[in-house]
Amino acid sequence: MACLKDQLIVNLLKEEQVPQNKITVVGVGAVGMACAISILMKDLADEFALIFMEDKLKGEMMDLQHGSLFLRTPKIVSAKTIIFGH
Protein backbone atom coordinates (compact mmCIF):
# COMPACT_ATOMS: atom_id res chain seq x y z
CA MET A 1 0.00 0.00 0.00
CA ALA A 2 1.37 3.41 -0.99
CA CYS A 3 1.90 5.91 1.78
CA LEU A 4 0.05 9.22 1.86
CA LYS A 5 3.17 11.13 0.75
CA ASP A 6 3.48 9.01 -2.43
CA GLN A 7 -0.20 9.56 -3.20
CA LEU A 8 0.02 13.36 -2.75
CA ILE A 9 3.29 14.06 -4.57
CA VAL A 10 3.20 13.49 -8.31
CA ASN A 11 6.27 13.81 -10.55
CA LEU A 12 5.40 16.40 -13.21
CA LEU A 13 8.66 16.24 -15.16
CA LYS A 14 9.58 13.26 -17.30
CA GLU A 15 13.04 11.81 -16.91
CA GLU A 16 15.32 12.98 -19.70
CA GLN A 17 15.82 10.14 -22.14
CA VAL A 18 19.16 9.33 -23.72
CA PRO A 19 18.87 10.13 -27.44
CA GLN A 20 18.88 7.10 -29.70
CA ASN A 21 19.39 9.04 -32.95
CA LYS A 22 21.35 12.29 -32.66
CA ILE A 23 22.19 14.24 -35.81
CA THR A 24 24.55 17.22 -35.97
CA VAL A 25 24.72 19.75 -38.82
CA VAL A 26 27.88 21.86 -39.02
CA GLY A 27 27.12 25.27 -40.54
CA VAL A 28 23.90 27.27 -40.58
CA GLY A 29 24.13 28.77 -44.05
CA ALA A 30 21.54 28.11 -46.73
CA VAL A 31 22.63 24.49 -47.27
CA GLY A 32 22.98 23.72 -43.55
CA MET A 33 19.53 25.09 -42.75
CA ALA A 34 17.98 23.26 -45.72
CA CYS A 35 19.49 20.03 -44.38
CA ALA A 36 18.28 20.86 -40.86
CA ILE A 37 14.71 21.45 -41.97
CA SER A 38 14.70 18.28 -44.09
CA ILE A 39 16.00 16.18 -41.19
CA LEU A 40 13.41 17.62 -38.80
CA MET A 41 10.52 17.23 -41.24
CA LYS A 42 11.40 13.57 -41.86
CA ASP A 43 11.63 12.88 -38.09
CA LEU A 44 15.07 11.26 -38.45
CA ALA A 45 16.43 12.15 -34.99
CA ASP A 46 15.27 12.52 -31.42
CA GLU A 47 18.05 15.04 -30.74
CA PHE A 48 19.30 17.57 -33.26
CA ALA A 49 22.39 19.79 -32.88
CA LEU A 50 23.67 22.77 -34.88
CA ILE A 51 27.35 23.77 -34.86
CA PHE A 52 28.54 27.16 -36.14
CA MET A 53 31.01 29.91 -35.27
CA GLU A 54 28.93 33.10 -35.51
CA ASP A 55 26.08 34.87 -33.71
CA LYS A 56 23.65 33.69 -36.38
CA LEU A 57 23.67 30.28 -34.67
CA LYS A 58 21.40 31.22 -31.76
CA GLY A 59 18.79 32.81 -34.01
CA GLU A 60 18.69 29.81 -36.34
CA MET A 61 18.43 27.41 -33.39
CA MET A 62 15.54 29.42 -31.93
CA ASP A 63 13.77 29.42 -35.32
CA LEU A 64 14.03 25.63 -35.47
CA GLN A 65 12.87 25.28 -31.85
CA HIS A 66 9.79 27.42 -32.54
CA GLY A 67 8.98 25.42 -35.66
CA SER A 68 9.58 22.11 -33.88
CA LEU A 69 6.39 22.58 -31.87
CA PHE A 70 4.67 20.98 -34.85
CA LEU A 71 7.24 18.16 -35.19
CA ARG A 72 8.30 15.19 -33.05
CA THR A 73 11.96 16.10 -32.43
CA PRO A 74 12.01 16.76 -28.68
CA LYS A 75 15.44 18.37 -28.37
CA ILE A 76 17.21 20.93 -30.57
CA VAL A 77 20.52 22.35 -29.29
CA SER A 78 23.37 24.48 -30.63
CA ALA A 79 27.05 25.01 -29.88
CA LYS A 80 30.01 26.97 -31.20
CA THR A 81 32.32 23.97 -30.80
CA ILE A 82 31.89 20.23 -31.13
CA ILE A 83 31.53 18.48 -27.76
CA PHE A 84 32.49 14.82 -27.89
CA GLY A 85 31.01 12.27 -25.52
CA HIS A 86 27.43 13.61 -25.31
Does the model's pTM come out above 0.75?
no
Q: What are phi and psi of 20, to 5 degrees?
A: -90, -35
- Say which residues have a Cβ less than 8 Å from residue 12's Cβ, sequence separation at least 6: none
Give the helix ranges, DSSP H, for 1-86. 4-8, 30-41, 56-67
- Which architecture characterizes domain 19-79 according to CATH? 3-Layer(aba) Sandwich (3.40)
User: In this predicted model, what pLDDT tens digit does every residue of 21-31 receive, in sequence order?
Assistant: 889 998 888 88
User: In this predicted model, what pLDDT tens digit does every residue of 77-86 receive, in sequence order?
Assistant: 888 776 655 5
